[in-house]
Structure 1
């Protein structure tokens, strides 16, 4: 994307205009990064719907590379160099294409980064709808030794690694599977440290603005538990079927639930997870993320059980707000058991939310923008399925 003299002047003054409090950047500051040319698009333009309260939706580019294995380029290689060695096939996404389950693909994204300030780093996560389809998606940057992380000062392309697990999916140029958020730190602060809200601060926040619809258990973050029913026969989750049709990720409310999922009725307030099966379940707690904070579902301690409870675990400011002030949205959990069957019981602790401060409050909260598909949710599948 060419830069005009006016934009070049904007870029020259960008470090001053992007200074401010430490924390997760709100959407109005992400707009500044775009306006200054530090976040660019191969299309030359951004859609308004890409701007979430605390993140930017990323769009797939025109080609997918099917690769032999997942990889990280490491400090001395670009992703393109790795693709030259590992690519098995190239698939055009211009008119749409199917990404087969249990295969690994890499797609260059339409968005790229250019001379980020050294004090602003970026972190990615799958979108909620992506995780609920059991699509494993991670961001890769050139010369990087970690997924989903981009160091301050980075200039270069961005790529998505995509590996569908339960369903084959159809995608196209412009499809959105993951999102990027930005953290601003002080000059003496470590890149990924010092952002998490302490338990003491979190208890104080809960006293003023309820984080859950009941007593808050706060221990290295906000603890949440599994909901497995209040009455016999209540639908408490869904298990992915093994042999289904393809799901078009851009088709909203286009599929019948029963064609892809097996409903799970409550039975004695317990559930045995089958090995290597995928489930959609819900938290017992109803959650609220205040405007000055964002939250991320932290990985479960392996000592707590042989299962994983999230793929897309980022919660925007404003998630779960209700008119009466009581937290109004359950956390929907993407659950996969590992090598052995595992018994869950109602109320069992399955994870925690780690809170971070926003640098400033967003100019629009989750639920107030047109892409807030999961505000007020109870147990809910991805937006692709009819209620």
Structure 2
């Protein structure tokens, strides 16, 4: 890692140094595109368990808790369908031996959130989902709970990502994110009882079998309770090359809905330097128990910006991305609407 000891998010070259030092380990060799500008994609291992309840490890290891709640085991080396409405725990190929002063936080990948698959990282004796304590040494697991669609996964499928940080980075600023409900197709609502989505099959699904387009009138959209929506931000999102951001839900007192999944935005997203000027944030929205009317431009989430320890040697989109320069866009698993 850099000799710079200031608090911040670690860029790709620092993550690669941690891998070389053995602070991040993997059962298989790391993929060439696994390290992103300020995050590391995590890959499913071979073993997965259908469990009767979610849990936090607390005083236990994850393996100990799995023995208490497992219903049956699945072999992901052969591929397996994870059914909507069920909860699963899977081993990840990556394990950690973090050095002093370095902690981590996980989040769903963009493509995971956009198909309404709820995922959270688990670590041994961890008191919270997704947060990995400074200096943690041990395996990592992922909780997977498909909400709308059943999904096909296999060993190596990437559902979440890890952001590593030194110390406690300051929050540089917080920006409100509004929703775009202007004329034309302003979003998509998930169809219930659709088929299975293969999460490794890119551009391979007809979106009309899984989504219906939304055509708001007068800049308003009525959210139905329990339905899942894909919408876009009103404003363009730009992440400077020395910063990273995380999208967080707004205070629930502001409205009876929430942006269902937090999300990482890597440095360079939406910037002219990375050829992404004008990129919008895609929002995964779910209403609560009561119908709720959204208005064009209404705040639905917030972007929290934090500094990197140093400039990354790669920017978002350098390895290819389905989401740079995006407007309203479904996940990479679907062909473009109307094709």
TM-score norm. by structure 2 comes to: 0.96
Q: 1:226 aligns with which of 179, 185, 189?
A: 179
Change (3 A) 1:17 1:349: closer
| Residue pair 1:292, 1:361 contacting (<8 A) in 2 also | yes
Corresponding residue number in structure 2 for 1:215: none
| Residue pair 2:57, 2:65 contacting (<8 A) in 1 also | yes
Corresponding residue number in structure 2 for 1:111: 94
Q: CA deviation at 1:308?
A: 1.3
**What is the CA–CA distance in structure 1 between the aligned matches of 2:3 and 2:260, rounded to whole Å?**
32
| Residue pair 1:239, 1:262 contacting (<8 A) in 2 also | yes
SS across alignment from 1:32: helix
**What is the CA–CA distance in structure 1 between the aligned matches of 2:100 and 2:223, rounded to whole Å?**
45
**What is the CA–CA distance in structure 1 between the aligned matches of 2:20 and 2:274, rounded to whole Å?**
38
| 1:23 equivalenced with 2:5 (yes/no) | no
| 1:352 equivalenced with 2:302 (yes/no) | yes
Q: Note the 1:109-258 alignment, pairs <5 A.
A: 109-114=92-97, 116-185=98-167, 193-197=168-172, 199=173, 221-229=174-182, 231=183, 234-258=184-208
| 1:381 equivalenced with 2:337 (yes/no) | no
Change (3 A) 1:18 1:105: farther
| 1:61 equivalenced with 2:45 (yes/no) | yes
SS across alignment from 1:46: coil
| Residue pair 1:21, 1:360 contacting (<8 A) in 2 also | no
| Residue pair 1:223, 1:351 contacting (<8 A) in 2 also | yes
| Residue pair 1:65, 1:105 contacting (<8 A) in 2 also | yes
Change (3 A) 1:176 1:353: same
| Residue pair 1:297, 1:310 contacting (<8 A) in 2 also | no
**What is the CA–CA distance in structure 1 between the aligned matches of 2:85 and 2:187, rounded to whole Å?**
23
1:65-115, Cα deviation, whole Å (9 max, x unpaired): 0001110010x210000000100010100110000001000001000002x
Change (3 A) 1:17 1:298: closer
| Residue pair 1:237, 1:263 contacting (<8 A) in 2 also | yes
**What is the CA–CA distance in structure 2 between the aligned matches of 1:363 and 1:312, rounded to whole Å?**
25
Corresponding residue number in structure 2 for 1:41: 26
Which structure has the larger Rg? Answer: 1
| Residue pair 2:274, 2:317 contacting (<8 A) in 1 also | no
| 1:32 equivalenced with 2:8 (yes/no) | no
Q: CA deviation at 1:293?
A: 0.4
4+ residue stretches of structure 1 with deviation over 6 A? 323-326
Corresponding residue number in structure 1 for 2:253: 303
SS across alignment from 1:113: strand
Q: CA deviation at 1:325?
A: 8.7
- Structure 1's unaligned 5+ residue stretches are 1-15, 186-192, 200-220
1:115-142, Cα deviation, whole Å (9 max, x unpaired): x122000100000000000000000000
Change (3 A) 1:18 1:122: farther
SS across alignment from 2:253: helix
| Residue pair 2:248, 2:262 contacting (<8 A) in 1 also | no
When the two chains are superposed, the root-mean-square deviation of aligned CA atoms in Å is 1.5
Q: Which has the higher strand share?
A: 2
Q: 2:220 aligns with which of 233, 258, 270?
A: 270
- Structure 2's unaligned 5+ residue stretches are none
Aligned residues: 336
**What is the CA–CA distance in structure 2 between the aligned matches of 1:385 and 1:326, rounded to whole Å?**
21
**What is the CA–CA distance in structure 2 between the aligned matches of 1:244 and 1:58, rounded to whole Å?**
27
Change (3 A) 1:327 1:154: same
**What is the CA–CA distance in structure 1 between the aligned matches of 2:231 and 2:13, rounded to whole Å?**
34
